[in-house]
Amino acid sequence: MKSIHQNKRHKYLAAAVFGCIALFSASLCSANKEAALKLPDTFPISMTFHAFNGAKFGSPAGKKVFEEQAPYSLIHGPRPDEVVALLHARWPEKIITLQAAYGGVNSPLFPKVWPGHLLYKTGTLLTEDISSTDMFISVANKNQIAKNNAQIEKTTRKIPFSVVIYAIDESGKPDWSQAEHVVIESMNQKGFVVKRGQWGSKPLSFKAGKAVVASHMMFWSGQWQLNFSLHSPRGGADNLTAAEWFARQIAQRVTNAKADGVEFDVARWIFGNPVNNSMDINNDLIPDYGYIDGVNSFGLGGQVFFRELRRLLGSNKIIQADSNNAISGVRGWKYLNGVQLESFPSANDFDRFSQSFLHLQMWVKNAEAQPQISYPFTKTATTIFSQDYLPNGSPTDFRFRVGFAAACLLGMPHPFAGLSSIDFDPENPSLNNKKKEKKGVFNWDEYHGGDLNNWHWLGKPVADAVQNLTGLSKTDKLAKANWQWSVAKEFTAKHSDAKNEFSATVETIPASVFPATLQNGVSLAPKNAEQIEVVPGHEYTIEFEAKGDDVWQYAGQSFERVPRMLTINGAVSTEKNAQPLSVLVDSQWRSFRISFVADATHSVTPVFGVSEQIGTTQIRNIKMYDGGGERWMREFENGLVLLNMTGNPWTVELPEDKYKRLKGKQVPEINSGEMIKHQVVIPANDALFLTKTSASIKPKI
């Protein structure tokens, strides 16, 4: 039940936010909601992201933020949820989505969560009996809970350091009817001083050797994580799995808010920072990091959540996930509208643009729910909004232009949020400082065409984006490569080697090891690598075709269109990012092209890894060329988008006097309004937006 204070606040919101809302009738809003959701068909498609953060409704600042969003087609993450109805009343045509944690529950929900639905780190046995009044517990391995008091104190800054105690039966299985949440206040050589019966649980008695103490898995501080795995037990009021229970919570929230959908923050296939998160999905006291029987049960279990949420919300709602790459992001194209790539590309690592753009294209092409909506989220430091410069003094606004161009090339929306520093890792929240984030409404000249002041100034696309490969050499550096499979200890696989086609079926992978260790256990590499010249620091482009199993019959369930992963180690720079390159492969042969900067520490050739899970992967027609291939253009009715993510300037020949630069105030040295005579140069790692001259625009008939 809502408190009187909450009800008053909701009434205040409804009444206080801007009298123009009354101009729109309830019938108009109702008619809008019944229509199928569609993205605008004219470009660009601008979008706001958490613009209301810090703004008090009814205040001058709150009103300003509200009205500033008038020209933006999509609004994401308005807070509180009640604002959605106000926004829809003001602008019925806009698409408005909520943001939620992927399987994370906040403290108000702690008492409502059945203990068996929660995800725990590897636990340890209780070593002494405790009654319901004892305030001290002894365990077999204290390090499984905490290493020292400093760790406990650090954790308790936002939420008390909590653990669960649960009984086990004669077979060692959890008895969730006998479970209690306790708060750890301190530790000593013998064990832990605790506060009993927390978060809605009751103090119970437990026997030594017949009870387990385990820490809650927490991704964001203040949130307990749910066990989305296919090994999550059923239980609670309606005998649901954790994924099914959470789907009901989210569906109710979306429905109550009258939102157009929801996006899940940092949705993931594997859990971040496994060193400190020894996940135990089946509660057998053995760390499994989500993997059972060679299959990522935690990652695959997300399909249950998305499937159930889609069933509850229906086809006319957006379900989206923040999912930056093939390694750690969610998979499965059947139930989602698409993904958001936060801090595009690859946590602001612009050397990895090619991999990120390819990942984005795969989602745009393959997500089955309509409308398809996958977009690059530019969350970075720029000169215009953060006064950030490169070490040589050059401005950094190219970071915005790159993300915005990528969105236009793929026909997708584009949001922007500022950072005070480029260092931001969406997959490892503990490394980030919230003070770096600058959310609000960011009005870039390129969004509205500068002095054109037209928020859809590009118009409709004339054609799909075209890739220009003139930056690549003609010589295949892998033409004489002698490829062979390698199987590491504790892996088993059947494989075949042909001249241009290679296949491996991974049968077993080792248990209880970090997911990153699994990727290269079965690998394909040239055994004559020393004969292949790769220069450290130079740019190369690798091409290949691949396919793999994407249908899973596991844990009594069947899932389709859940791709597997292929990694590329070796000749790729890991200076900023320790992960290999990665792509998703499914049951169709697909062509892949990825540009990269060769590792500056040693010269090696590409190594393909296919053993993150059991199953079959096939690779063929592997080639590699000098140079970068990420040069793109797309023509629109009223303009042209050009993107050059190679290390060299790109000269583009254009029809004489057909195009001119935008005329803007923010970066006048680029958006000067100058006429393009017959060619234009796009600098390395940058993008350019041109408008057609009035004489070259065909009149609409």
| pLDDT tens digit sequence for 515-557 | 999 999 999 999 887 778 888 888 999 999 999 999 999 999 9
DSSP code per residue over 572-617 = S--SS--SPEEEEE-SS-EEEEEEEEPPSS-----EEE--SSSEEE
State the DSSP H helix or E strand holding residue 14, giving kind and residue range, or none if neither: helix 4-16
Same domain for 263 and 312:
yes
| Domain co-membership, 331 together with 386 | yes
For residue 31, give the 3-state DSSP assignment: helix
pLDDT digits (tens, 9 = 90+) for 304-347: 999 999 999 999 999 999 998 999 999 999 999 999 999 999 99
Q: 441 and 568: one domain?
A: no
Average pLDDT on 376-386 reads: 96
Check whether residue 511 and residue 612 sit in a common domain: yes
Average pLDDT over residues 283-303: 96
Residues 419 and 546 in one domain: no
- The SS3 assignment for 692 reads strand
What was the pLDDT predicted at 33? 47
Query: What is the pLDDT confidence band of residue 262, given thresholds at 50, 70 and 90?
Result: very high
pLDDT tens for 18-33 read: 333 333 333 333 334 4
Taking residue 555's Cβ as centre, other Cβ atoms within 10 Å add up to 17
Report whether 64 contacts 482 (CB < 8 A): no
Name the percent of the chain lying above pLDDT 90. Answer: 78
- Under 8 Å between Cβ of 373 and 656: no
Q: How many CB atoms lie within 10 A of CB 355?
A: 26
Is pLDDT above 80 for 173? yes
Q: Is residue 232 part of a domain?
A: no
Q: 307: how many CB neighbours lie within 10 A of its CB?
A: 18
Q: Where are the alpha helices (DSSP H) in 417-567?
A: 445-448, 515-518
Give pLDDT tens digits for 572-597. Answer: 765 555 789 999 999 999 999 999 98
What per-residue confidence (pLDDT) applies to 572?
Answer: 72
- Do 243 and 203 reside in the same domain of the chain? no
- Domain membership of residue 220 (yes or no) is no
Instruction: Indicate whether 95 and 162 sit together in one domain.
Output: no
Band of pLDDT at residue 13, cut at 50, 70 and 90: very low
Rg (alpha carbons) of the chain, rounded to whole number: 27
Same domain, 613 and 644: no
83 belongs to a structural domain: yes
What is the per-residue pLDDT across 192-245, written as a single tens digit (0 to 9) for each? 999 999 999 999 999 999 999 999 998 777 899 999 999 999 999 999 999 999
> Average model confidence (pLDDT) for the chain?
90
Return the pLDDT at 31.
Answer: 37
The reported pLDDT for the residue numbered 695 is 62
540 belongs to a structural domain:
yes
Q: In what order do the strands lie in the sheet with 174-187?
A: 124-125, 211-215, 162-168, 174-187, 192-198, 136-137
Q: Which of 165, 184, 215 corresponds to the end of one domain?
A: 215
Residue 137: which domain range? 122-215
The alpha carbon torsion through 74, 77, 81, 85 (nearest 10 deg) reads -10
250 and 185 in a common domain: no
Assign 57 a pLDDT band (cuts: 50, 70, 90).
Answer: low
**Joined tokens for residue 566:** 């292929």
**Residue range 238-256, pLDDT digits in tens:** 999 999 999 999 999 999 9
Q: Are residues 413 and 490 in the same domain?
A: no
Residue 668, domain CATH: 2.60.40.1180
pLDDT digits over 654-677, tens only? 999 999 999 999 999 999 999 999
Report yes or no on 468 lying in a domain: no
Q: Of the residues 435, 452, 469, which one is the last residue of a structural domain?
A: 452
- For residue 159, being part of any structural domain is answered with yes
Within-domain flag for 117: no
pLDDT at 4: 34
Query: What pLDDT is stored for residue 30 in this prediction?
Result: 39
Q: Do 409 and 502 belong together in one domain? A: no
List pLDDT tens digits, range 337-357: 999 999 999 999 999 999 999
Specify if 476 maps to a domain.
Answer: no
The number of domains in the chain is 4
Integer Cα distance of 17 and 682 in angstroms: 45
Q: What is the DSSP letter of 456?
A: T
Domain end marker among 601, 626, 651:
626
* pLDDT tens per residue, range 143-166: 999 989 988 887 655 788 999 999
Q: What is the pLDDT of residue 16?
A: 40
CATH number at residue 270: 3.20.20
Looking at the structure, tell me whether residues 427 and 299 fall in a common domain: yes
